[in-house]
C-alpha cells in the first residue's frame, strides 16, 4: 500500500537525543572521554568565573562545541551555531537539549576567547591523555618531534614596509609623493564661503601589485593584517609565505600527540620548541628517554642540550658535519625511532585537512597557538575509538 505524502505539525515532541545516536557511533566513546576529562578540570574552571552576574556559556559546553567544530571541519563559529540548530548529533555531543536555544555566534566567540587560552588548551589535552583508558596507550620513553608551517590569515599584499622612519604625512607605497610648496611665495587665497563637496578616494581592495625586484624581509617589512606573522620558507625552492610554525611532540607507541606548541617562524624555532616540549612533558626526569627527529634537528648545540636533559637524540643524520655519530646509530632503537618519527606527519596532515589548520582564521601567536593545541587534542580524540576497540 502506498503511503501518503502528508506533512503535519506536532504540538509536543518526545525525542530523546540519546536514542537518536547509534550505539556503536565513534562519537560515543569520544564524548565519554571528553566528559571525564572536563569533570577533572572542574577546579580549573571555577576561578575563571565570578559568583554573581549574568551566567555565561558553561565552559564544558563551550569546549565540547569547539571540539565538534574541529572534528567535523566546520569552518566558522557562525556556521557551527547554524548547524547546531538542526543537527541533533551536534546538540547531543555539546549537551544541548532538543528545545534549548543555540547561542549567538558573537557571544560564543567572546566566551571562547576568554576561556580557551594556551594554558587551558594544554590542560584539556593533558586531561584527555590522563584518562584511565587513554593513559595505558602512551609510551613514557620514546618520543618524536617535528614542526610544520601554519599559513597566517594575512595576504602577501599586507606585507608592507615598517612605519619606523616614515614621515608623519607619509601616504604609504603606491601613492604619489606630495610636492614641497613654499608657503611664503604663494599668494594668499580667501576662504570659500561653502565647503567643496569631498571627492571619494576609494582604493581598490584587491589591486594588482608587482613585487618583482623589490627586496622584502622581516627586518624591514611587517604584515598590516597580522603583525606577528613572519615571512618564511621551510625548504629551498619553495615560495615564502606569511606563516607561523606549529610544533608537536608524539609518543611512539600509538602516535598520539602529547605536547603541542606554536611560535613565530624562524630557523631556530623548531629546536627551541622541541626542548621546551620535552621539559614540559617530563620536567626534571632522570629516566633515559629517546627523541626522534629529522635532519633539521641535527645541530651540535641541540644534541648537546638533549643529552644534558637525559634524552638520547635519535636524530636523522645530515650527509655532512653531523652531530650524531656511531655511538647512537649502532643501536637498533635508533633505526626504530627514525622509522616511527614519520608518523607525526599524519597528525599534521589531519590538522590541516580536517582540523582547518592549513590556513588559520585567527590572528596573533596566542590565539593561533591555543587553537593549534586544541586541534592536536582533537586529533587524538579522533583516533581513540579505534585504538580503544582494538
How far is residue 15's CA from residue 364's CA, in Å, rounded to a whole number? 43
Contact yes or no for 338/314 (Cβ under 8 A): yes
Gap between the Cα atoms of 285 and 306, Å rounded: 12
**Percentage of residues in the chain having pLDDT higher than 70:** 86
- Cβ atoms of residues 249 and 145 within 8 Å: yes
Q: Would you call 313 helix, strand, or coil by DSSP? A: strand
Residues comprising the chain, all counted = 390
pTM: 0.86
Query: Of 60, 56, 61, whose CA–CA distance to 84 is shortest?
Result: 61
Q: Which pLDDT score, from 0 to 100, does residue 167 have? A: 44
Predicted confidence (pLDDT) per residue in 302-337, tens digit: 999 999 999 999 999 998 899 998 888 999 999 999
pLDDT tier, 170 (very low <50, low <70, confident <90, very high otherwise): very low
- Of all residues in the chain, the percent with pLDDT exceeding 90 is 68
Tell me which of 162-176, 193-207, 290-304, 373-387 is least confident: 162-176
DSSP codes joined into one string, 160-176: EE-STT--TT---TTSP
pLDDT at 156 over 50: yes
The whole-number pLDDT of residue 128 equals 97
Please give the C-alpha separations between residue 38 and each of 21, 134, 201, 254, in angstroms, as whole numbers.
21, 14, 53, 23
Chain mean position to CA 112: 14
Q: What is the mean pLDDT of residues 1-10?
A: 72
Question: Mean pLDDT, to the nearest integer, of 348-360?
Answer: 96
CA separation for the pair 250, 153 (Å, rounded): 27
- CB contact set of 184 (below 8 Å; sequence gap of 6+): none
Stronger pLDDT, 194 or 206, i.e. the higher one: 206
Mean of all residue pLDDT scores within the chain: 87
Q: What is the pLDDT of residue 256?
A: 97
At 296 the three-state DSSP class reads: helix
Q: Is the pLDDT of residue 182 over 70?
A: no
Contact 107, 61 (CB under 8 A): no
Q: Say what the pLDDT of residue 287 is.
A: 78
Distance (Å, whole) CA 274 – CA 246: 11
More confident call, 20 vs 15: 20
**Pick from 61, 35, 70: nearest CA to 379:** 70
Q: How many CB atoms lie within 10 A of CB 10?
A: 6
82 — pLDDT class (breaks 50, 70, 90): very high
Q: Which domains does the chain possess?
A: 17-115 (no CATH), 139-155+238-364 (3.30.420)
The DSSP element (H or E) to which 260 belongs, if any, is: strand 257-264
- Range with the poorest average pLDDT among 30-34, 72-76, 98-102, 247-251: 98-102
Range scoring the smallest mean pLDDT among 40-54, 158-172, 206-220, 233-247: 158-172
Q: Rounded to an integer, what distance in angstroms lies between the CA atom of residue 192 and that of residue 209?
A: 39
Instruction: Extract the C-alpha cell encoding 238.
Output: 619553495
The pLDDT value given to residue 197: 54
Compute the distance between CA of residue 124 and CA of residue 136 in angstroms, rounded to an integer: 18
Higher pLDDT residue, 214 or 330? 330
Cell 571541519, residue?
73
Amino acid at each position: 500500500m502506498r503511503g501518503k505524502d502528508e506533512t503535519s505539525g506536532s504540538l509536543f515532541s518526545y525525542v530523546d537525543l540519546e536514542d537518536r545516536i547509534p550505539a556503536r557511533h565513534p562519537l560515543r566513546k569520544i564524548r565519554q572521554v571528553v566528559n571525564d576529562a572536563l569533570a577533572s578540570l572542574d577546579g580549573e574552571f571555577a576561578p575563571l568565573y565570578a559568583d554573581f552576574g549574568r551566567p555565561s556559556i558553561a565552559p564544558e559546553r563551550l569546549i565540547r562545541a569547539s571540539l565538534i567544530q574541529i572534528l567535523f571541519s566546520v569552518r566558522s563559529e557562525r556556521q557551527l551555531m547554524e548547524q547546531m540548530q538542526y543537527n541533533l548529533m551536534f546538540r547531543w555531543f555539546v549537551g544541548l537539549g532538543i528545545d534549548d536555544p543555540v547561542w549567538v555566534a558573537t557571544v560564543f566567540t567572546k566566551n571562547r576567547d576568554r576561556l580557551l587560552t594556551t594554558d587551558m588548551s594544554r590542560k584539556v589535552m593533558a586531561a584527555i591523555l590522563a584518562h584511565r583508558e587513554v593513559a595505558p596507550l602512551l609510551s613514557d620513553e620514546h618520543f618524536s618531534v617535528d614542526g610544520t608551517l601554519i599559513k597566517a590569515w594575512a595576504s602577501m599584499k599586507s606585507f608592507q614596509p615598517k612605519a619606523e622612519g616614515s614621515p608623519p604625512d607619509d601616504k604609504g607605497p603606491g601613492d604619489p609623493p606630495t610636492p614641497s610648496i613654499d608657503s611664503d611665495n604663494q599668494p594668499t587665497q580667501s576662504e570659500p564661503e561653502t565647503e567643496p563637496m569631498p571627492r571619494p578616494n576609494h582604493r581598490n581592495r584587491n589591486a594588482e601589485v608587482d613585487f618583482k625586484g623589490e627586496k622584502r624581509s622581516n627586518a624591514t617589512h611587517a604584515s598590516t593584517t597580522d603583525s606577528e606573522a613572519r615571512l618564511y620558507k621551510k625548504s629551498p625552492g619553495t615560495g615564502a609565505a606569511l606563516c607561523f610554525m606549529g610544533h608537536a611532540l608524539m609518543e611512539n607507541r600509538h602516535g598520539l600527540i602529547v605536547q603541542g606548541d606554536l611560535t613565530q617562524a624562524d630557523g631556530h624555532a623548531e629546536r627551541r620548541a622541541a626542548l621546551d616540549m620535552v621539559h614540559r612533558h617530563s620536567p626534571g626526569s632522570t629516566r633515559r628517554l629517546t627523541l626522534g627527529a629529522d635532519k633539521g634537528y641535527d645541530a651540535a648545540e641541540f644534541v648537546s642540550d638533549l643529552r644534558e636533559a637525559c634524552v638520547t637524540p635519535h636524530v636523522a643524520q645530515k650527509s655532512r658535519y653531523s652531530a650524531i655519530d656511531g655511538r647512537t646509530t649502532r643501536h637498533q632503537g635508533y633505526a626504530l625511532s627514525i622509522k616511527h618519527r614519520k608518523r607525526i606527519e599524519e597528525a599534521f596532515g589531519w590538522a590541516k585537512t580536517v582540523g582547518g589548520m592549513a590556513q588559520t582564521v585567527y590572528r596573533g601567536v596566542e590565539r593561533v597557538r591555543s587553537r593549534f593545541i586544541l586541534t592536536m587534542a582533537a586529533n587524538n580524540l579522533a583516533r581513540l575509538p579505534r585504538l580503544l576497540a582494538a
